Amino acid sequence: MKKLLLAVLSLTLAAGFVFAQSDNNGSVSLSDPDASNIGNDSARQALREVSVERFEREGSWNVKISPDYGVISGRLFDGSPLAKESLNDADNQEMEDSKVFGVKVEFFRRGINSFYITSARPIPIEGVTKTVSVWACGRNMGHQLWLLVQDYNGNNFEIWMGSLEFSGWKKLTTAIPPSPDGEHGIIQQSVYHGDKPGLRIVGFRVDCNPMEAKGSYYMYLDDLRAVTDLYDLENKDADDMMDNW
């Protein structure tokens, strides 16, 4: 019995050591998730990085805060993060990309509050979304950015993207957790779904640090992207019928 317990302990320690090593060398990271390992239960994957929103059109995004906490406004500005890498997509490279979306919040007083940045209508993403990224300029405040999404069934979820406590522009990336059983969590793929996109981007929520939510606060967003698995779409037979009637 003692030998069995020792063997189990040894295996557990070895597994922990392997996990720690993978975490240290960057292959397992909450701030830089590997899209190829998220929900990967098959070798059949066709991962593509796609542009979701470039924040180029007036009136496409709305901002909201409780009138008890402050006043908020949002508008487009000319500019772009210098470190932003180009998208490896010939069609999207021709699209205009010269503006960013700015948000200004004027707080009435310190307190526990949040404000929202939402799309005029939810933005669908084809395929099975693995990661979502956005460039943010947070003005080195300890506020927290959350991604708001809607799955195929219309259920709403919030996913933490990171703290805005940094100077200048930074690319924030979050993983979309796969459903553990196809019935709970964020549902993106099912034999009942047909060709309807499985994930929609609703927008963002910023939870404010109560000690820093005072005066005027400025933040900017640009280049919302997703890494998505398009295997089923790219391998669909040309003579297959569309289940949309």
Which has the minimum average pLDDT: 8-17, 73-82, 164-173? 8-17
Q: How confident is the model at residue 2 (pLDDT cuts 50, 70, 90)?
A: very low
Query: Quick one: pLDDT at residue 180?
Result: 87
Residues paired with 212 in a beta bridge: none
Query: Quick one: pLDDT at residue 190?
Result: 74
Q: How confident is the model at residue 9 (pLDDT cuts 50, 70, 90)?
A: very low
Cβ atoms 223, 84 nearer than 8 A? yes
Q: Residue 183 region, left (φ>0) first, then alpha (ψ -120 to 50), else beta?
A: alpha
Cβ atoms 101, 221 nearer than 8 A? yes
Cβ atoms 132, 174 nearer than 8 A? yes
Interatomic CA distance for residues 219 and 167, integer angstroms = 11
Interatomic CA distance for residues 187 and 218, integer angstroms = 34
Q: Is pTM beyond 0.75 here?
A: yes
Query: Quick one: pLDDT at residue 13?
Result: 39
Looking at per-residue confidence, does 95 or 4 come out higher? 95
Query: Quick one: pLDDT at residue 90?
Result: 63
Distances (CA, A) of 118 to 65, 74, 123: 11, 11, 10
pLDDT of 69 higher than 80: yes
In this structure, what token pair is assigned to residue 106?
């004027």
The H or E element containing residue 142 is: none
Query: Quick one: pLDDT at residue 123?
Result: 96
pLDDT of 164 higher than 60: yes
Cβ atoms 119, 201 nearer than 8 A? yes
Which has the minimum average pLDDT: 59-63, 75-79, 173-177, 227-231? 227-231
Query: Quick one: pLDDT at residue 54?
Result: 95
Rounded mean pLDDT, 172-176 = 97
Q: What is the mean pLDDT of the chain?
A: 84
Interatomic CA distance for residues 150 and 229, integer angstroms = 18
Q: Look at residues 86, 93, 33, 40 and name the one whose alpha carbon lies nearest to residue 231.
A: 40
